[in-house]
Amino acid sequence: MDKGGSVLKDNRGVSPVIATILLIGMVLVMVLIVFIWFKGFTQEAITKFDKNVDLVCGETRFEASYSNSNGILAVSNIGNVPIYNMKVKISAGGNYETKDINDLSANWKSSGLNPGRTFSGGISPYLSGADSITLVPVLIGSSKSGERAFTCDETKSGKKISL
């Protein structure tokens, strides 16, 4: 007891060793969070013909037409790159919806459209009220995790057909 009659309390904080360990642990957790967050920005590289698949998209060549009278879409692969699938962007009154061509027509082969091949199939039930459709090729490429599909850029590789 001190002279005033009160009991002295031990007012010590956390030891410097414990504080240092806690600070290092918090820094490691923050670095891990930033690393995982940043990893989400990068995509795994997909290659085709030993090139980045985005570059190969520029080499795709296809012709497409749609007949309003019978509702048949015709696509011909006139390039040297096999087209695995097609995205069909259906535009109507300023809105759009994107579908896979194999969802619209049972005639699309699961192996895709090889060079020199053609596809024709009815898709008219899905186009009621549509102003235009845009066809965008989907290529299959290799990555570290196996084969992956890659949708080409619509502005570079897409074909718009007015209805």
12-42 residue pLDDT tens: 677 888 889 999 999 999 999 998 888 777 7
Q: What is the pLDDT of residue 84?
A: 93
Is 126 inside a domain boundary? Answer: yes
Judge whether residue 44 has pLDDT over 80.
no
Angle, CA of 130, 87 and 159, to the nearest 5°? 70
Q: What is the pTM of this model?
A: 0.70
Is 104 inside a domain boundary? Answer: yes
Is 128 inside a domain boundary? Answer: yes
Judge whether residue 92 has pLDDT over 60.
yes
Is 97 inside a domain boundary? Answer: yes
Residues with Cβ within 8 Å of residue 95, at least 6 apart in sequence: none
Q: By residue range, what is the domain housing residue 132?
A: 47-162
Judge whether residue 138 has pLDDT over 90.
yes
Query: Average pLDDT in the 129-135 region?
Result: 89
> Average pLDDT over the chain, rounded to whole?
86
Q: What is the pLDDT of residue 115?
A: 92
Is 29 inside a domain boundary? Answer: no
| Residue 63 vs residue 108, higher pLDDT | 63
Q: What is the pLDDT of residue 75?
A: 92
Is 152 inside a domain boundary? Answer: yes
Domain containing residue 124: CATH number: 2.60.40
Which tokens go with 110?
Answer: 């699961």
Is 13 inside a domain boundary? Answer: no
Which tokens go with 111?
Answer: 């192996």
Residue 92 phi, psi (nearest 5): -145, 115
Q: How many domains does the chain have?
A: 1
Is 12 inside a domain boundary? Answer: no
Among residues 96, 86, 88, 87, the alpha carbon closest in space to that of 130 is found at 96
